[in-house]
Amino acid sequence: MRRDARAQQARWGCPAAGLAPPAALDPDLAYEAAEVARITGTPPADTCPFACVERADPWVAELTRAVALREWVPDLTDTLGRPLCAADLDALDTLRRAQSEAIASDRAIAEEARKSQTPPPGR
């Protein structure tokens, strides 16, 4: 697993690993960076999209933790210990949208896999 992680760091030119970003990302990496930018509403990265969140703002960490704990503490204001602000609501909407897109993608992948295993009708 570490070997794979190091290979990905090299492909992305990950600054967190002390590497310089490539002059241009491989097409598949550029596509991934564009998707992350679309989902997060941030500019496309010229290196690993996670490089910008390596040390997340404490507010991001606080809200993400609160969302993760929702199963045990359903009221986010109880988890956060403060009322939700407009930025919280925007972030929650972004998380919800990303989760919905991930579920839709998983369903499409599963459907394609199912189709590829089923012989065509009439055979």
Whole-Å CA distances, 35 to 2, 39, 44:
25, 6, 8
Q: Are 64 and 94 found together in one domain?
A: yes
Domain count, the chain: 2
Q: Which tokens go with 32? A: 């991934």
pLDDT value at residue 85: 83
Dump pLDDT digits (tens) for 38-55.
877 778 888 888 776 555
Looking at residue 46, what DSSP letter applies?
S
Q: Are 98 and 88 found together in one domain?
A: yes
Q: Are 88 and 51 found together in one domain?
A: no
Dump pLDDT digits (tens) for 63-74.
777 777 776 667
Is residue 6 one of the residues assigned to a domain? no
**Looking at this protein, which amino acid is placed at residue 22?**
P
Residues of the domain holding 37: 14-55
pTM across the whole model: 0.43
CA dihedral 116, 117, 118, 123 (to 10 degrees): 100
Q: Are 34 and 79 found together in one domain?
A: no
Percent of the chain's residues with pLDDT above 90: 9
